[in-house]
Amino acid sequence: MNKQTLIETHNRIKPFIHKTPVLTSQLLNEKAGCNLFFKCENFQKMGAFKMRGAANAILSLSEEERQRGVVTHSSGNFAQAVSLAAQKLGVKAYIVMPENAPQVKKDGVRTYEGEIIECESTPQAREATANSIKEEKGATFLHPSNQDEVIYGNSTAAIELLEEQPNLDVILTPVGGGGLIAGTALAAHYFSNNCKVIGGEPMEADDAYRSLISGKIETNESFHTVADGLRTHLGDRNFPIIQKYVDKIIRVEEDEIINAMQLIWERMKIVIEPSCAVPFAAVLNNKEEFKNKNVGIILSGGNVDVKNLPF
């Protein structure tokens, strides 16, 4: 993997993604005590950065593999991303979803012609179901966060941000499965002058924070966080990248996440999901660290149930 790989990835997926805007807010800058640049992946196709990784993963398949289709397990954004990318490329998508996944997310998958196979709501059931489809149909399995092609696709959000704002001191992203922060860290390493990458993570699901301390992949016992996109753990493909290139991970409390989310809704007039608010909360609660710096934040997505907001 080198800089050229990321450049080729970016060029490959450009026809299939939006180049999302970078927004600023004077009021939020004053509140945070630094210059904030929000990369708005909530405006990405299907409403999240996941479209980048899904498109790259499918575009990287051979013609023969595409004909046999793709399969993934996801309760949310990656399910929709794979369905849409597959639909655009004429590839069959099998989507394994837990039976209790939100109806709005199931509807999104069906809109993009993904075929849903429901399973019990456990990681084991999801993997077993996906494996059986892989065996039966010969479909290629796509992992939401722990696959090189997905990580490289995710890097393109930060590449675009750095093209627009080359003088960033730091970029923050939320940390769930690790695919976004790993891609962002690669982008910062190859395309910036010494820009640090920091993760934001809920205190209630702080497996990545603990993983960096222990040096091995940790998991969560509980998932009591409003940031539903972050209730997952790191993988063996993205963890080494995170260990090597991520500066650190900052943990935030639930009320801090909700407060940060509400501020963005009210002040920027944009819809973001709770997971997006985690890195912004990290900045607001560590003002000394970011004082007067140029700070990029990747707003990872905007797929939220507006009838069930936390504020």
Q: Give yes or no: 155 in active site.
A: no
Q: Which of 21-35, 50-64, 144-158, 221-235 has the lowest mean pLDDT?
A: 221-235
Residue 201 covered by a domain:
yes
Give, in order, the Cα–Cα distances in Å from 212 to each of 197, 226, 290.
14, 23, 21
Catalytic residue selected from 75, 83, 145, 211: 75
Q: What local confidence, expressed as pLDDT, does residue 304 receive?
A: 87
Q: What local confidence, expressed as pLDDT, does residue 229 receive?
A: 84
Residue 262 covered by a domain:
yes
Give mean pLDDT, residues 117-142: 93
Residue 271 covered by a domain:
yes
pLDDT at 78 exceeding the cut of 90: yes
The rounded mean pLDDT for the chain is 95
Domain limit, last residue, from 86, 120, 141: 141
Select from 135, 158, 153 the least CA-distant residue to 143.
153
- CATH number of the domain to which 73 belongs: 3.40.50.1100
Whole-structure pTM over 0.85, yes or no? yes
Give mean pLDDT, residues 61-86: 94
131 or 98: which carries more pLDDT confidence? 131
199, β-bridge pairs: 173, 249
Kindly tell me the burial class for residue 161, based on how many C-beta atoms sit within 10 Å of its own C-beta (0-12, 13-18, 19 or more): buried
Give, for 199, the enclosing helix (H) or strand (E): strand 196-202
Domain coverage including residue 94:
51-141
The whole-angstrom separation of Cα 199 and Cα 75 is: 22
The fraction of the chain above a pLDDT of 70, given in percent, is 100
74 or 122: which carries more pLDDT confidence? 74
Number of C-beta neighbours around residue 213 at 10 A: 10
Question: Strands of 93-98's sheet, edge to edge?
Answer: 115-119, 93-98, 70-73, 140-141
Q: What local confidence, expressed as pLDDT, does residue 75 receive?
A: 75
SS3 197: strand
Catalytic residue selected from 39, 50, 106, 196: 50
The fraction of the chain above a pLDDT of 90, given in percent, is 86
Q: Which of 54-58, 125-129, 170-174, 182-186 has the lowest mean pLDDT?
A: 125-129
pLDDT at 102 exceeding the cut of 80: no
118, β-bridge pairs: 97
pLDDT at 36 exceeding the cut of 80: yes
Give mean pLDDT, residues 168-194: 97
Q: Give yes or no: 75 in active site.
A: yes
Q: What local confidence, expressed as pLDDT, does residue 224 receive?
A: 87
The whole-angstrom separation of Cα 72 and Cα 118 is: 12
* Residues 31, 155 share a domain: yes
SS3 219: coil
Give, in order, the Cα–Cα distances in Å from 32 to each of 76, 222, 259, 278, 286.
31, 30, 13, 14, 9
* Residues 289, 252 share a domain: yes
Q: Contact 287/28 with Cβ under 8 angstroms?
A: no
Q: What local confidence, expressed as pLDDT, does residue 37 receive?
A: 98
* Residues 195, 173 share a domain: yes
* Residues 183, 283 share a domain: yes
* pLDDT, tens digit, 9 for 90 and up, residues 256-300: 999 999 999 999 999 999 999 999 999 999 999 999 999 999 999
* Residues 163, 131 share a domain: no
* Residues 263, 214 share a domain: yes
* Residues 168, 283 share a domain: yes
Residue 311 covered by a domain:
no
* DSSP one-letter code for 24: -
Residue 260 covered by a domain:
yes
Vertex 15 angle, CA 270 and 301, to 5°: 25
* Residues 219, 83 share a domain: no
